[in-house]
Amino acid sequence: MRSKTLSTGYKMPMLGLGTVNFGEGKTYPALRAALKAGYRHIDCAMMYDNEAEIGQAIADAMKEDGIKRSDLFITSKLWNSFHKPEDVRGALEKTLADLQMEYLDLYLMHWPVALKKGVKKPTSSADYYSLEDVPLMSTWRELEECFDEGLVNTIGVSNFSTHKLEDLIMEARVAPAVNQVELHPFLQQNELRSYCLHNNIAITAYSPLGRGIPADLTEQQKQEVVLAHPVIEEIAEKHDATTSQVVLKWAIQNGIIVVPKSGNPERLAQNLAALACDLDEHDMSRIAHLDKNHRFIPGDEYFLSGSPYTWENLWDEPRPE
């Protein structure tokens, strides 16, 4: 498995398994299938409500299939309602207990958004803390402590703009090694990628395939779906590959780590096989021209009336019209 060496010296596999929204009873079999197929990088989060199932699947695979903990790269994320410094350690300990692990390979701050304790999804302005109330730096200091204690090998962030990374790095004792963001051919994040490359911050792409393919698309509608876009389809046909393989390999050839989600054994194998698909310069150039700065996950739940968060201060850019 191809990997990227992080600023901490640890190697992170370039292709992992996303674990959000498998559905009730589907997480455990999906994890067992993925581990059997060869996946060793698992991307988790407390917010996904399935870390206990993931932990059991990994424990059983280690017992029955001879997989070692040292073979695995396990990521999890601190949810927004645990940003107060006194809450960070408890959230991490809950994740470790659910995953049946003594340490994480990578722990990320899930969003640069602070919610009141117990809030999973905000429903009113009373559910938020502003970043003046709970500064990102105060949360980061606690992550640094967890890093110092060996509870996590590497710390990072998710959904951070270039501006927020700049502010964090200016004060951080331990710089973030990873920034996980939405990234795909329709949202290529070129400025952010350049900044991260210059500052030795690896980028992980969530939703690297965009959204799924609805049935019966018109030719015009295909222009709005990453996996059905005519350019992606043409490149896939040229390489005798699936459109998913093309999109994943485009990211990997750009040095981006990807964590697509699937519980389907055939799809799991196909996604792994993307590593063997080599795109040429012309392919890469054609895909580069598909960028339209389009977010499928814009964070709208944080922009409720009265919220201290807006599109502009979350993403540090104007909202597209």
HEC profile of the chain: CCEEECCCCCEEECECEECCCCCCCCHHHHHHHHHHHCCCEEECCHHHCCHHHHHHHHHHHHHHHCCCHHHCEEEEEECHHHCCHHHHHHHHHHHHHHHCCCCECEEEECCCCEECCCCCCCCCHHHEECCCCCCHHHHHHHHHHHHHCCCECCEEEECCCHHHHHHHHHHCCCCCCEEEEECECCECCHHHHHHHHHCCCEEEEECCCCCCCCCCCCHHHHCCCHHHCHHHHHHHHHCCCCHHHHHHHHHHHCCCEECCCCCCHHHHHHHHHHHHCCCCHHHHHHHHCCCCCCCCCCCHHHCCCCCCCCHHHHHCCCCCC
Of 28, 48, 195, 206, the active-site residue reads: 48
Catalytic annotation present for 48: yes
From residue 149, give the alpha-carbon distance in Å to each of 29, 103, 308: 33, 10, 33
Binding site members for substrate: 110
Question: From the annotation, which residues make up the binding site?
Answer: 110
Residues labelled catalytic: 48
